[in-house]
Amino acid sequence: MRSIKSQGFTLIELVIGIVVLAIAMTVSISFLSPLAKRSFDPIYQIRAAELGSSLMNEILTKSFDQNSDHTGGGQWRCSEPNSLGVATTCSATLGPDAGEARDTFNDVDDYITGQTAISDSQGSDLSGLYRGYSYRVDVSVVTANLTKRIDLVVIAPNGSEYAFSAERWNY
């Protein structure tokens, strides 16, 4: 007569299998969690690059100085005689002039700011499109009456800072 053997796992085998599986899952998740946090970095970099490029293009389209020709028709530079032969002087201070807002900035140093939220050139709030992003701008005179250095830093939601620089010549 044949004996019938029972098939399956014992309780001890099941418990050991669950413990081994739990250890394997813990190790694999500990390797994957840092990767998940960094998976958004390329998105932040792309958004920061497009924002930085857009802001820098806007800044570079403005005049070199408050006293420069803003229309492009007179073609005079600060520290040189204008079309009437009258010598113009470069502005002594950097930063926005009294009463100027983002939509009325007319020279590169008007953009000097502390950390600020995102808006377009008309002053409309863009924080919904660039949620968590901010930027700061610093403008310094490199060569008296010849060049100004524009340093723009875009701060991403994860705290990463992306720097952009350009020089605006007095022409």
Task: Answer yes or no: are the C-beta atoms of 109 and 95 closer than 8 Å.
Answer: yes
Instruction: Assign 82 a pLDDT band (cuts: 50, 70, 90).
Output: low
User: What span, in angstroms and rounded, lies between the C-alpha atoms of 169 and 12?
Assistant: 79
Residue with tokens 């820098």: 56
Instruction: Assign 161 a pLDDT band (cuts: 50, 70, 90).
Output: very high
pLDDT at 110: 86
Q: Which residues contact 35 (CB under 8 A, 6 or more apart)?
A: none
Q: Does the reported pTM lie above 0.75?
A: no
Q: Which residues contact 165 (CB under 8 A, 6 or more apart)?
A: 149, 150, 151, 152
Helix segments in 39-163, DSSP class H: 41-60
Q: Using the predicted structure, report yes or no on whether residue 88 has a pLDDT greater than 80.
A: no
Q: Using the predicted structure, report yes or no on whether residue 166 has a pLDDT greater than 70.
A: yes
Q: What is the mean pLDDT of the segment spanning 52-74?
A: 79
Q: Using the predicted structure, report yes or no on whether residue 86 has a pLDDT greater than 80.
A: no
